[in-house]
Amino acid sequence: MTATGAKGSPVLTLRGVGKSYGQVQALSGIDLDLYPGTVHCLAGENGAGKSTLIKILTGAVQRDSGEYTIGGRAMRRTVTPAEARESGVGVVYQELSLLTDLTVADNLVMGAFPSRAGVVDRRGQRAAVRAMLDGVGLGGLDPGRTVGELPTATRQLVEIARVLSRGTRVVIFDEPTTALSAEEAGALLRRIKALREDGVAVLYITHRLEEMFEIGDTVTVLRDGVRVTGGPMADFDEDSLIAAMVGRTITDLYPGRDEARARDEEPPRLEVRGLRPALFPRPVDLSVRAGEIVGIAGLLGSGRSRLLRAIFGADPVTGGQVLLDGRPVPRGSTRAAARRGIGLLTEDRKESGLLPGLSIEENIAIASWRTAGRRGLVQRSRLRRHVEASTEGLRLRFGDWTDPVSSLSGGNQQKVLIARWRALGARVLLLDEPTKGVDVGAKADIYRIVTELAASGLAIVVVSSYLPELLGLCHRVVVIRERRLVAELGAAEATEERVLALASPRGAAAAHAAGRDPVENGAGNGIAEEIS
C-alpha cells in the first residue's frame, strides 16, 4: 500500500500542533498523518520547523498545543522520549548515537539484555543480534566488531537495526545520507524502500530533492513553522517543490557558467606543482585560472579533502610547491597561505571554521581586524564598514551583527565564512562540501555567490560528494581515486556516469577491461588518464 492510495487509519497523527520559544513561533497549527507502508517526506528550509517537529514526535520537547496520537492512542503533552519509543516511534539522526568503543552486539542489545533469572543469556543475545542484523541486510557482519571500525554506511544500518528491534512502527530519518557516498546513499534508500514494503511508516527529511522523488509517496512542506502545502509526491516537480519551500520561484538552481568564464589567455592564478600530500603515492599537478571553477570529484576517503588541506598548508606535504599568481607560497603554513590570498572553507564548519562563542561580526573580521584599526586600536565604526563591505551581495540573514554566529542557519553560517575570506582579500577559494547540511534556498544563494566570485576574478576549487552540484557549477571536473588524480573532464563531457566510472576502482577497471576509455586522453589541462 502506498500513500498515493493510502487506506485505513494512520499510525501517527498530529492535529493543530504548535510550539513557541519565547516570542518565536517555531510551529503553528501543524497537521500530519503517517500511514503504514508509506514514505512521507518533510520538506522545508533550515529554520522552517522540521527539527522542532521531530523533537515533538520523539518526546524531546513538549508541544504547547494540539493533539498527538499513535495507533489511535492519545499521547500526553508531556510525553517523554521513553514513552515515544515504547509507542513505536524511532529516529535515525544524521549524527548517529552508537557508542563507537563498543561492539555491534553491545550497541544492539544495550538496555535490553536477554536474561534468565537475572543472568545474561548469551545464546539468546547472539540470536537476537543475528535477527536484528539479518533484518537490515547485514547478515554477514561480525557482531563482535567494534562500531568505530565500521564504515559510516554500515553504522547507519546498525542504527536502523537497533531502532527496529524495539517494535518500531514509525521510523524518522533525519538527513541520513549527508555523510554517505552516492553508492552508499543508494543502498540506504533501497533499505528504506524495504521498510516500506514491510509496513513501516517512514518520515524522511533531506535537503536532497532527488531522494524525495525517488522514495517519497507523500510530502509535507513547512515554511516559517507553518504547513504551506502537501500531498502526493506525484503532484509536485522539482520547481514547484522548491517554490513551496522557499516562497519564491527558483527557475534554475545553478546560475550558469557563462557568468564565470575562465580567462584562458591568462596564466594560472593557482598552480600546484608536484605536491606530495601525506599518503599520496604520486605527486599532484593542478592549475586553476582566474574566473574558473574547478570541481574535485571522488569517493569518500579518496583524498579530496586531504588535497585541499595540503594546498592550504593545513596538512603536511613531502614535496612540491603551491604558487599564487606565479609566486611560491611557503609550504605547511596556513597563515602564509591566508596572507597570500588563499582561503579554505572546511567541511566541518562548526568544528574548524566558525568560532561559536563570537558574534557574527567578530567571526567575519577575526582574520582581518588589522584593516579596521590604527596603531593597534580597532575602530568600531571602521570595523563595521569593513564587515558590511565583505557581506555585500551575500544575502546574509540575521538579526544583529552582535548576535552569536551559532544562531544562524547552516547556509548563513557558510556565508559568514565566505565573507571572512572576502574581508581578507582572498584570490583563491578552496571549498570543501560548501552546501553540506544546507537547504535548497541557501544552496541557490551559495551557487550564485560562488559564480559571482569567480566572475570577479577569483580561482575556485570545489570538493563535493553531490555530483549534480559539480556538474552544474564547474568549468572542469578533476577526478581523484585512491589519492591519485586520474582524469579531467570538461563541462561538456562530464556526466554522473563517467565521473562515477572513473572514481570507482571497480568501474574504472571494468571500463579498462572492456577497452572503453571514459575520458579522452589529453582533456583539460593535461592530467593524464590513469585507468588501472
Q: Residue 389: helix, strand or coil by DSSP?
A: helix
Distance CA 230, CA 385 (A): 44
Contact by Cβ (8 Å): 176, 43: no
- Burial string for 14-41 (b: 16+ CB within 10 Å, else e) reads beebbbeeeeebbbbebebbbbbbbbbb
* Range 297-313 average pLDDT: 91
Among 282, 309, 249, which residue's Cα sits nearest to residue 444?
Answer: 249
Please state, in angstroms and rounded to a whole number, the distance separating the CA atoms of residues 341 and 421. Answer: 8
pTM: 0.68
- All residues at 6 or more sequence positions from 149 whose CB lies less than 8 Å from its CB, including other chains: none
The domains spanning 3-88+169-246 and 252-341+427-532 adopt the same CATH topology:
yes
Residue 400 vs residues 156, 230, 388, 407, 485: alpha-carbon distances, Å = 39, 34, 12, 11, 44
Pick one of 3.55.50.30, 3.90.245.10, 3.30.930.10, 3.40.50.300 as the CATH number of 3-88+169-246.
3.40.50.300
Q: How far is CA 12 from CA 3, 32, 62, 73, 92, in A?
A: 14, 8, 17, 9, 17
Using CB atoms within 10 Å of the CB of residue 520, give its burial: 0 to 12 exposed, 13 to 18 middle, 19+ buried.
exposed
CA distances from 365 to 34, 233, 359 (A): 47, 44, 10
Strand bridging mode 293-297 / 284-288: unpaired
The count of other CB atoms within 10 Å of the CB of residue 351 is 9
Q: Where are the domains of the chain?
A: 3-88+169-246, 94-151, 252-341+427-532, 353-416
Half-sphere exposure of 96 (CA within 13 A, CB side): 25
pLDDT in tens, 239-287: 899 889 887 666 567 787 654 444 556 789 999 999 999 999 999 999 9
- Summarize the confidence of residues 171-176 as an average pLDDT: 91
If one looks up domain 252-341+427-532 in CATH, what number appears? 3.40.50.300
Q: How many CB atoms lie within 10 A of CB 115?
A: 12
What pLDDT, in 10s, does the model give residues 474-511? 999 999 999 999 999 998 899 888 998 898 876 545 44
pLDDT in tens, 67-113: 999 999 999 999 999 999 999 999 988 766 788 888 888 888 875 55
